[in-house]
Amino acid sequence: MFDSIHEECGVFGIFENKKADVALSAYFGLYALQHRGQESCGIAVCDDGIFRHKRSDGLVSEVFTKEELNKLGTGNIAVGHVRYSTTGGHSHNNIQPLVIRHIKGNMALVHNGNLVNASQLRNSFELSGAIFHGTSDTEAVAYEIVKQRLNSSSTEEAVEKAMPNIKGAYSCILMTATKLIAFRDPCGFRPLCIGKTPDNAYIVASESCALETLGAEFIRDVRAGEIIVIGSDGLRSIDTKLSQKSSICIFEYIYFARPDSVIDGVSVHHARIRAGEILAEKSPVNADVVIGVPDSGLDSAIGYSRKSGIPYGMGFIKNKYIGRSFIQPQQNQRENAVRIKLNVIRETVKDKRVVLIDDSIVRGTTSARIVKILREAGAKEVHVRISSPPFLHSCYFGTDIDSEENLIAGKCHSAKEIAEFIGADSLEYLPVECLGELTENKFGFCSGCFTGNYPIDTKGAGGKNKFDKKIHSN
């Protein structure tokens, strides 16, 4: 309904040294990661080698009622997943965790990211007789691990053998009958971190905010190309020697992650504040108030206000009850869609020159509607500042960015032309050369959707609807 960017999922895993209510822990962890995917979710529990799982469409709170959590029962290991699928990728068989039963045991896998060679892997397995139940590239990851497990002494050895054959972005957590295994791709495209609760349970999750929800202490991030094995004897690390230059998705800091998370040692909140400060330095404007589009534009608006000296104001109230079940209006009613999601606080903007901070512009239609309702609320001028560079290219690593022909900036439109399209008095983006300042230039990152320069070869991969809509991101 809104021309916004979607991340594909969040992953969670917990290992207890005793029987515990791990399903409830996974529930709370996924609740904290709900912003990473609102279409479907799932939890799998291991209890003395017996796997029980529940997967369904809906939000975590909708799917996992008290009754459903009781059905999962107690255990000592659990994994969970929240998911948003790309267009055409919605299928019950794509909902995770994927629970696999093979000759050497059971495993449950959750995955965040996209493979660039998923189609090739899938074709290879199908030619050897494998049957795929869904369209997710996570199944290709699972098949590759099972294939290697047949000739390995342990699951972690199988994962280590599989990783060189899996190309692209993957932050995964795998549950066996006795272990929790986490592994991150050699470029570290997607986040993954480790924590420990006061009663010595280990947790692995996409973001540190999930650890804090359960009162766990942050230990560290899983390193790129690293395998973490958690069992009854504690935690150990396997260095696969595959690690390459860090290439975490820079959009994690701009939009995807929760602002209270810390990823690879950098505060998301601080990164967004810095984006606003840079915009104020590079794209100043005479104005009366700075407002942000909830939620990811708010921190950058604070940064812009601080640096510019222009007062910060609360410009919108967001309807927090809009979820995946919200009915999309008919085409002739779409003008009202933004009004249902965002209400303007008229007193903040009436008769004022407004600086509007948002995280991105995709097709421009939502931005145009937001500018329109600000003007209807009495804003004299609306100057739009975007805390990311313009989207020019597709993403191959787990972000649902529209195809290039649908990106308004990808049509060779200048900022001035886009400003006219959305009805703004001016429009400026975060300069692409300033992206490193968001992470204090501590490490490398992937900015391929802005520059077209990708950290690894993407030949043979596709973007939003890759592989003729056959394989879809997770």
Q: Which of 68-82, 218-232, 390-404, 417-431 has the lowest mean pLDDT?
A: 390-404
**Is there a domain that residue 38 lies in?**
yes
What's the CA gap between 337 and 445, in Å, rounded?
35
Which domain covers residue 355, as residue numbers?
265-455
Q: Are residues 45 and 185 in the same domain?
A: yes
pLDDT at 89: 52
Mean pLDDT, the chain, rounded, equals 90
If phi over 0 gives left and psi between -120 and 50 gives alpha, with beta otherwise, what is residue 410? alpha
Q: Are residues 36 and 161 in the same domain?
A: yes
Q: Are residues 219 and 289 in the same domain?
A: no
**Is there a domain that residue 365 lies in?**
yes
Q: Are residues 397 and 322 in the same domain?
A: yes
Give pTM, 2 decimals.
Answer: 0.91
97 prior amide bond cis, ω within 30: yes
**Is there a domain that residue 140 lies in?**
yes
pLDDT band at 472 (very low <50, low <70, confident <90, very high): very low
Check residues 128 and 192 and name the one with the higher pLDDT: 192
pLDDT at 5: 59
pLDDT at 4: 56
Q: Are residues 434 and 298 in the same domain?
A: yes
pLDDT at 131: 79
pLDDT at 309: 98
pLDDT digits (tens, 9 = 90+) for 275-292: 999 999 999 999 999 999
What's the CA gap between 251 and 339, in Å, rounded?
26
**Contacts of 305 by beta carbon, 8 Å cutoff, 6+ apart:** 276, 280, 290, 311, 312
Tell me whether strands 171-175 and 40-47 are parallel, antiparallel or unpaired: unpaired
Which one of the listed residues 9, 209, 446, 449 is annotated catalytic?
9
pLDDT at 463: 43
Q: Are residues 232 and 350 in the same domain?
A: no
pLDDT digits (tens, 9 = 90+) for 185-240: 999 999 999 999 999 999 999 999 999 999 999 999 999 999 999 999 999 999 99
pLDDT band at 331 (very low <50, low <70, confident <90, very high): very low
**Is there a domain that residue 469 lies in?**
no
**18: exposed, middle or buried (C-beta count within 10 Å: 0-12, 13-18, 19+)?**
exposed
What is the per-residue burial (b if ≥16 Cβ within 10 Å, else e) of 362-399?
A: bbbbbbbbbbbbbbebebebbbbbbbbbbbbbbbbbbb
**Is there a domain that residue 111 lies in?**
yes
327 pLDDT more than 50: no
pLDDT at 132: 83
Q: Are residues 422 and 345 in the same domain?
A: yes
Q: Are residues 200 and 309 in the same domain?
A: no
Q: Which of 296-300, 305-309, 392-396, 431-435 has the lowest mean pLDDT?
A: 392-396
462 pLDDT more than 60: no
pLDDT at 339: 74
* Percentage of residues of the chain with pLDDT beyond 90: 75
**Is there a domain that residue 355 lies in?**
yes
473 pLDDT more than 50: no
Q: Which of 183, 215, 244 is the last residue of a domain?
A: 244
What's the CA gap between 416 and 383, in Å, rounded?
11
Looking at the DSSP bridge assignments, the partners of residue 80 are: 12, 43
8 pLDDT more than 70: no
Q: Are residues 196 and 288 in the same domain?
A: no
Q: How many Cα neighbours within 13 Å face the side chain of 160?
A: 16
Interval 264-268 mean pLDDT? 96
**Is there a domain that residue 20 lies in?**
yes
pLDDT at 177: 97
pLDDT band at 474 (very low <50, low <70, confident <90, very high): low
pLDDT band at 323 (very low <50, low <70, confident <90, very high): low
Concerning whether 9 is annotated as a catalytic residue, the answer is yes
pLDDT band at 467 (very low <50, low <70, confident <90, very high): very low
Q: Between the CA of residue 282 and those of 269, 275, 381, 434, what are the distances in Å?
A: 20, 11, 19, 10
Q: Are residues 225 and 273 in the same domain?
A: no
CATH number at residue 81: 3.60.20.10
pLDDT at 287: 98
pLDDT band at 465 (very low <50, low <70, confident <90, very high): very low
Answer whether 170's CB lies under 8 Å from 399's CB: no
pLDDT at 470: 32
Q: Are residues 292 and 400 in the same domain?
A: yes
Answer whether 225's CB lies under 8 Å from 243's CB: yes
Number of domains in the chain: 2
**Is there a domain that residue 396 lies in?**
yes
Interval 315-339 mean pLDDT? 63
233 prior amide bond cis, ω within 30: no
Q: Are residues 396 and 355 in the same domain?
A: yes
